[in-house]
Structure 1
Amino acid sequence: MTMHDTDVERRFALAKSLAAEAGAFALDYFNTRETLVIETKRDLQDVVSIADRNVETFLRERVAAANSEDGFLGEEFGHQVGSSGYTWVVDPIDGTAPFVNGMPTWCVSVAVLHQGVPVVGVIQVPCANELYAAALGLGASLNGETLLLDPSRTIQNAMTGIGCNTHVAPDVVGAIVTALLARGGTFIRNGSGALMLAYVAAGRLVGYYEPHMRAWDCMAGYCLVKEAGGEYLPFPTEGEDLFKGHPVLASNGTAYPELLEIHNSLRRQ
């Protein structure tokens, strides 16, 4: 075993335990959100913002205590440069709209990059009590059960996840849906891109596509999909690119060419 392997395994173990703790922390906010609104005289959007910040602070502090030389990039508080070559990329609560509206499709996403490559990906789904976990060369699992993608699943016989946000024009979203339906596919959107990527790794969705996504939403999911045997569109991580939004596409190997063609056709329009 190389030094790099043991470094990754140590961080993988930490990511799993931290994601589980952060998930329990976030679930407390979720389960008491109505009470918190009354107590704090704030609205639900404020409550999820407070939860977001506190969960990220918890993760940031725990990572710093265990690996003080690692970098850290979170959705709420931005980037802290490290010197080890490892950077933690965290979304404390991905799927704030489901969270606010009392739906279970939100998650905690924790990834570790090494020289820009996602080497650890952990997604904790508190409402479903699911822990998706993957590390480079170690495979992917859901609650300890190995995940391996089925090549017989296509966009015609399975569901594809689609993401959209304020960075994507409505007609572009319409074009994606139209292109998918025209190819005999069908789509779903559950409000969390990170969770839909985890579903791709688990074979629940055959693929996921979003034209503009941030690193903290997709890095853990990319590691999961790769380790489950799937493919993904490279995400630029050099310099400032790491902080910008880029297209995200991940699927099993069978569906990838067709989904990539939909992505490329949008770029040509």
Structure 2
Amino acid sequence: MTLPANELQERFALARSMAFEAGAIALRYFNARERLVIETKADAQDVVSIADREVEELIRSRIAASFPGDAVIGEEYGVSAGTSDYTWVVDPIDGTSPFVNGMPTWCISIAALRGEEIAIGVIYVPCNDELYASAMGMGATLNGKSLRLDESRNIRNAVTGIGANHHVTPAAVASIVEKLLDAGGNFIRNGSGALMLAYVAAGRLVGYYEPHMHAWDCLAGYCLVKEAGGWHHPFPVQGDGLTKGSPVLAAASGAVNDLRAIAGL
């Protein structure tokens, strides 16, 4: 599908500028996190802070100012309806648990759909000053350098990211890890699914699997992986699919079949 160049490029430019601006705010909070008020959501491991809310408010305000007809879905403030073909999908800080515990593995994740197509995916990692950026048909970059996945990499000669949360039973996670290790693979988990998807696009991980993720955690990463030459499992974007969550799997071509078998997808 070909998108009108100007409308896509303008939104792509906005996504990148918002990521830097939002990242600067989040980094200030991160560097003064001892003063943050932390709240729990679904369980004691699912946390939120004023930083998450302020970053999402900033992103929403920038979108409203530039493209008032666009819809927005964000982790902290839910759905704002729009009249255009575009829907922004935002996680203001993915990896809030690492964030509040002083670890650098958190990021700003900004995606945009045009209709049912993932048109834009931008992930910014403030602690490392890394901007992963992609748009439909424009490729993927890391700090301006083109990303292209190596087809020779697989689960046995590279590392896979695995995610877990309160939606998934401990037994299910243990089974995934066991299957991966039995197949000759190895794994990491860094606390941010969005960041690990960006790592797939950059070739740092050969794949990423999480049995249940929300759209705001994965759509930007999905765009990055696809534009870098990888594959991802479809995410349901029709109806309430964007708010309910789904299994997430993305990989370089050499790991797709193994990881689909492990995930049962």
TM-score range, shorter chain: over 0.9
Aligned partner letter, 2:8: V
> SS of the counterpart of 2:10?
helix
Q: Percent identity?
A: 61
2:247 is aligned to 247
1:5, CA displacement in angstroms? Answer: 2.1
The answer to whether the Cα contact below 8 Å between 1:44 and 1:100 also exists between their aligned partners in 2 is no
Per-residue deviation at 1:3? 6.3
Q: Is the 8 A contact 2:38 2:48 kept in 1?
A: no
1:179-218 counterparts in 2 under 5 A? 179-218=179-218
Secondary structure of residue in 2 paired with 1:69: coil
Displacement, 1:33? 1.0
1:14 Cα shift?
0.5
Matched, 1:91 2:88: no
Match of 2:102 in 1: 102
State the AA in 1 paired with 2:145.
Answer: E
Structure 1 length as normaliser, TM-score?
0.93
TM-score normalized by structure 2?
0.95
Q: Give the drift of 1:135.
A: 0.2
| Distance (Å, rounded) in 1 between the aligned partners of 2:57 and 2:130 | 22
Structure 1 gaps of 5+ residues are: none
**Structure 1 residues 115-264: aligned runs within 5 Å:** 115-264=115-264
Give the 3-state SS of the residue equivalent to 1:185 in structure 2: coil
CA contact (8 A) 2:38 2:49 kept: no
1:33 corresponds to which residue?
33
In 1, Cα distance between equivalents of 2:200 and 2:38: 33
Task: Give 1:23's aligned residue.
Answer: 23
2-side partners of 1:4 and 1:243: how far apart? 27
Deviations 1:126-177 (A, max 9, x none): 0010000000000000000000000111100000000000000000000000
The 2-side partners of 1:3 and 1:137 are apart by: 9
Deviation digits for residues 99-123 of structure 1, max 9, x if unmatched?
0110000000000101122110000
Distance 1:151 1:144 in 2: 22
Task: Give the distance between the partners of 2:150 and 2:102, measured in 1 at CA.
Answer: 32
C-alpha distance in structure 2 between counterparts of 1:189 and 1:48, whole Å: 20
Matches of 1:202 and 1:93, distance apart in 2: 20
Unmatched tracts of structure 2, length 5 or more: 42-46
- 2:81 aligns with 81
Runs of 4 or more consecutive aligned structure 1 residues displaced over 6 Å after TM superposition: 44-47
In structure 1, give the amino acid aligned to 2:180: L
